Amino acid sequence: MQRLIIKGEKRLCGEIRVQGAKNSALPLLAGCLLAEGTTRLTRCPELSDVFAACRILSELGCKCSFRDNTAVTDSTGAQGFCITEELMREMRSSIVFLGAVLGRMGRCELSYPGGCELGPRPIDMHITALRQLGVRITEEHGRISCTCPKGIRGAVIDLPFPSVGATENIMLAAACGKGETVIHNAAREPEIKDLAAFLNSCGADIKGAGCSTVVIKGVKKLHGCEYEVMPDRIAAATYMAAAAATGGELGLLGVRCADIQAVTAVFEEMGAAVYCPEDRIFISCSRPLRAVRVIRTMPYPGFPTDAQAVVMAALATSQGSSMMVENIFESRYRHVDELVRMGADIKTSGRTAVIQGVKKLCGANVRAHDLRGGAALVTAALGAEGVTTVGNVQYIDRGYEQIEQVLTSVGADIRRAF
Ligand code: UD1
């Protein structure tokens, strides 16, 4: 088991070029299957989840290579429609391939993504929406078989909740379908806009992405293109939290400030000075931080659930008491027990967490239980007294490109042990 060993209390200072967004790269890679010919995705983050997506593409018969943050795919010869259980398990978000495989092959077989570290992750909204698009779906022994004998047919779909994954799957399935598909109550996350912009660069006709109503006019086929993955707003939020936890001063380069306004507002409330010229964020923090009244995670443009854990780690040593309400996932406080091992005073009850700021945290042996929770432990460790060992680094590697090199470059004392 790989571990990160972090000697805390080093003030972070310097500049970080923020990686491309994992949560955008994955649906974009699925979209490459629809685009006949060669597609180049630049600023593609080098992450285990991205490599898993490339393996799925290869399994489906798509040529796929990855070098210098560029994924090059050629789906000309792709004929596969089955995704093995092993690959589905490796990356929970592989469900986003369902819409793309259906759109290209007219059929798809895969297994349930199963339970995950954030609690149950059902796909009922994906299934209901695809049925509305004319897909026949049967389930047996955890395998899902989908066929659309008459092709994907446009429909009006009202999502009961603005699910990111369901919105992406509908867009991917309907891009080359017959007629018009309208999604009401669509997710408005920036990654949805990025997927629409990518598909439109490949010849799709999608309007309204980023708003609650998205209209997809089916086109005959898509072609390859070159496209740059959007910046990772959650990685940016994580490095802001690291600056806050260490009383540091960081410049984050190549970001889109508008995408993370809900997060920058919280850091400002904590007393940080945040300045966002063009595609940069400068954050300067002096300790102690102030507590914030209450943070509620919400669909975009609300406070993102993916930033909940890292901001909590920074709040653990603020002055006063803060409250968090997790509205998106049922079980997203598994990092709390680990933060408590480091001396934090945090109590949870259902979806609520109350963080009573303490003077300082102390190094301990802790373990990541999920990606963002793992990043929260690293954040806490950077500000803590003494040495912290964070186990289960494979979770963190799913979403952060070269985390120890990035943090070392701005003054952290962090190394990986094998
Ligand atoms: C995506 C992101 C994830 C982020 C989340 C919310 C990717 C790869 N992952 O996940 O990092 O935390 O958005 O911003 O982009 N739900 C159902 N039935 C469904 C679908 C979803 O009940 O069919 C529930 C989920 O269990 C969850 C909530 O809806 O409680 C939100 O899920 P969703 O927006 O779909 O998140 P993901 O696409 O899985």
- Model pLDDT, residue 112: 81
Q: Would you state the structure tokens that stand for residue 152, as one six-digit string?
A: 């994907």
Ligand 1: nearest atom to the Cα of 371: 11
Confidence tier at 5 by pLDDT (50, 70, 90): very high
Query: Model confidence over 266-277: pLDDT tens digits?
Result: 999 999 999 999
The one-letter amino acid code at 21 reads A
Query: Model confidence over 35-91: pLDDT tens digits?
Result: 999 999 999 999 999 999 999 999 999 999 999 999 999 999 999 999 998 888 888
Asked if residue 139 has its Cβ within 6 Å of ligand 1, the reply is no
Ligand 1: nearest atom to the Cα of 24: 15
- CA 400, 26, 55, 20 torsion-angle sign: negative
**Interval 373-387 mean pLDDT:** 98
Confidence tier at 143 by pLDDT (50, 70, 90): confident
* pLDDT score of 365 more than 90: yes
**Interval 235-263 mean pLDDT:** 97
**For residue 174, which of 141, 212, 137, 135 has the smallest C-alpha distance?**
135
Confidence tier at 312 by pLDDT (50, 70, 90): very high
State the Cα–Cα distance between residues 164 and 178, nearest whole angstrom.
23
Confidence tier at 303 by pLDDT (50, 70, 90): very high
Asked if residue 119 has its Cβ within 6 Å of ligand 1, the reply is no
Calculate the alpha carbon distances from 105 to 31, 206, 246 in Å: 13, 21, 51
* pLDDT score of 141 more than 90: no
Largest CA distance in the chain: 64
Residue whose Cα lies nearest atom 25 of ligand 1: it is 121
- Shared domain for 97 and 51, answered yes or no, is yes
State the Cα–Cα distance between residues 38 and 226, nearest whole angstrom.
9
- Model pLDDT, residue 120: 60
Asked if residue 165 has its Cβ within 6 Å of ligand 1, the reply is yes
- Shared domain for 152 and 177, answered yes or no, is yes
Asked if residue 125 has its Cβ within 6 Å of ligand 1, the reply is yes
Calculate the alpha carbon distances from 278 to 44, 253, 258, 286, 304 in Å: 22, 10, 10, 24, 22
Burial class for 373, CB neighbours closer than 10 Å (0-12, 13-18, 19+): buried
Asked if residue 373 has its Cβ within 6 Å of ligand 1, the reply is no
Residue whose Cα lies nearest atom 20 of ligand 1: it is 123
- Model pLDDT, residue 194: 98
Q: Would you state the structure tokens that stand for residue 330, as one six-digit string?
A: 């049922």
**For residue 173, which of 140, 206, 197, 138 has the smallest C-alpha distance?**
206
Residue whose Cα lies nearest atom 19 of ligand 1: it is 123
- Model pLDDT, residue 33: 96
Report if pTM > 0.95: yes
Q: Other CB atoms closer than 10 Å to residue 129's CB: what's the count?
A: 24
- Model pLDDT, residue 91: 82
Asked if residue 173 has its Cβ within 6 Å of ligand 1, the reply is no
Q: Would you state the structure tokens that stand for residue 169, as one six-digit string?
A: 């799957």
- Shared domain for 214 and 245, answered yes or no, is no
- Shared domain for 305 and 259, answered yes or no, is yes
Q: Would you state the structure tokens that stand for residue 73, as one six-digit string?
A: 């795919």
Among 186, 211, 228, residue at a domain's last position: 228
- Shared domain for 219 and 245, answered yes or no, is no
Question: What order of strands is seen across the sheet that includes strand 226-228?
Answer: 63-67, 70-74, 38-42, 226-228
Q: Which residues contact 197 (CB under 8 A, 6 or more apart)?
A: 209, 227
* pLDDT score of 28 more than 90: yes
Q: Other CB atoms closer than 10 Å to residue 418's CB: what's the count?
A: 6
**Interval 337-366 mean pLDDT:** 97
Confidence tier at 114 by pLDDT (50, 70, 90): low
Confidence tier at 306 by pLDDT (50, 70, 90): very high
Domain range for 303 is: 3-19+231-417
Residue whose Cα lies nearest atom 29 of ligand 1: it is 163
Question: How many domains would you assign to the chain?
Answer: 2
- Shared domain for 35 and 92, answered yes or no, is yes
* Cα(10) to centroid(ligand 1), Å: 35
- Shared domain for 303 and 406, answered yes or no, is yes
Query: Model confidence over 160-215: pLDDT tens digits?
Result: 999 999 999 999 999 999 999 999 999 999 999 999 999 999 999 999 999 999 99
State the Cα–Cα distance between residues 76 and 331, nearest whole angstrom.
41
* Cα(165) to centroid(ligand 1), Å: 6
Ligand 1: nearest atom to the Cα of 121: 26
**Interval 291-312 mean pLDDT:** 97
- Shared domain for 165 and 244, answered yes or no, is no
Catalytic residue IDs? 116
- Shared domain for 164 and 273, answered yes or no, is no
- Shared domain for 136 and 277, answered yes or no, is no
Calculate the alpha carbon distances from 150 to 105, 131, 153 in Å: 12, 12, 8
Q: In this structure, what CATH number is given to the domain that contains residue 180?
A: 3.65.10.10
Instruction: Please work out, in degrees rounded to the nearest 5, the angle formed at the alpha carbon of residue 416 by the alpha carbons of 415 and 418.
Output: 150
* pLDDT score of 13 more than 80: yes
* Cα(388) to centroid(ligand 1), Å: 31
Query: Model confidence over 206-242: pLDDT tens digits?
Result: 999 999 999 999 999 999 999 999 999 999 999 999 9
- Of 15-24, 103-112, 161-170, where does mean pLDDT reach its minimum? 103-112
* Cα(94) to centroid(ligand 1), Å: 12
* pLDDT score of 340 more than 80: yes
Among 228, 258, 275, residue at a domain's last position: 228
Residue whose Cα lies nearest atom 30 of ligand 1: it is 329
Asked if 186 and 114 touch (Cβ cutoff 8 Å), the reply is no
- Shared domain for 157 and 80, answered yes or no, is yes
Q: What is the DSSP string of 103-134?
A: HHHSEEEEE----BBTB----HHHHHHHHHTT
- Model pLDDT, residue 115: 46
- Shared domain for 246 and 282, answered yes or no, is yes
> Residue 150 phi/psi, 5° resolution?
-100, 15
Q: Is 196 left (phi over 0), alpha (psi -120 to 50) or beta?
A: alpha
Among 228, 249, 280, residue at a domain's last position: 228
Asked if residue 372 has its Cβ within 6 Å of ligand 1, the reply is no
